[in-house]
Amino acid sequence: MTDPSKSAVLGAAPEGATDPQSAALAVREMFTSIAPRYDLLNHVLSCNVDRLWWRNTARTFADILARPEAQVLDLCCGTGDMTLALRREAGKSSARILGADFSHAMLQRATQKAASTPLRWIEADALRLPFPGNHFDLITSAFGFRNLANYDAGLQEIMRVLRPGGEFGILDFGEPKGLVGSCYRIYFKRVLPAIGTLISGIKGPYAYLPKSVARFPGPEEMLQRIQQTGFRESTWTPYTLGIAGLYCGKK
- Of 178 and 5, the structure prediction assigns the larger pLDDT to 178
205-208 contact pairs (CB < 8 A, 24+)? 205/30, 205/31, 205/33, 205/34, 207/15, 208/14, 208/15, 208/30
The region of weakest confidence among 9-13, 40-44, 56-60, 104-108 is: 40-44
pTM of the model: 0.91
Closest CA to 97 of 108, 86, 107, 106: 86
Asked if residue 182 has pLDDT above 90, the reply is no
Phi, psi of 180 (to 5 degrees): -60, -40
Question: Are 174 and 238 contacting, i.e. CB atoms less than 8 angstroms apart?
Answer: yes
Task: Provide the b/e sequence for 7-45 (b: ≥16 CB within 10 Å).
Answer: eebebbbbeebeebeebbebbbebbebbbeebbebbeeb
pLDDT one-digit tens code per residue, 186-213 = 887 888 788 878 877 887 777 888 888 8
Per-residue three-class SS string for 195-211: HHHHHHCCCHHHHHHHH
pLDDT band at 107 (very low <50, low <70, confident <90, very high): very high
Asked if residue 121 has pLDDT above 50, the reply is yes
Distances (CA, A) of 164 to 35, 132, 171, 190, 250: 35, 13, 22, 44, 8
pLDDT band at 7 (very low <50, low <70, confident <90, very high): very low
Asked if residue 59 has pLDDT above 80, the reply is yes
Distances (CA, A) of 214 to 67, 126, 141, 217, 218: 37, 22, 19, 8, 9
Percentage of the residues of the chain whose pLDDT score is greater than 70: 97
pLDDT one-digit tens code per residue, 207-230 = 888 888 889 999 999 999 999 999
* Averaged pLDDT for residues 80-104: 97
Question: Are 60 and 85 contacting, i.e. CB atoms less than 8 angstroms apart?
Answer: no
* Averaged pLDDT for residues 6-18: 80
For residue 4, what pLDDT is reported?
Answer: 46
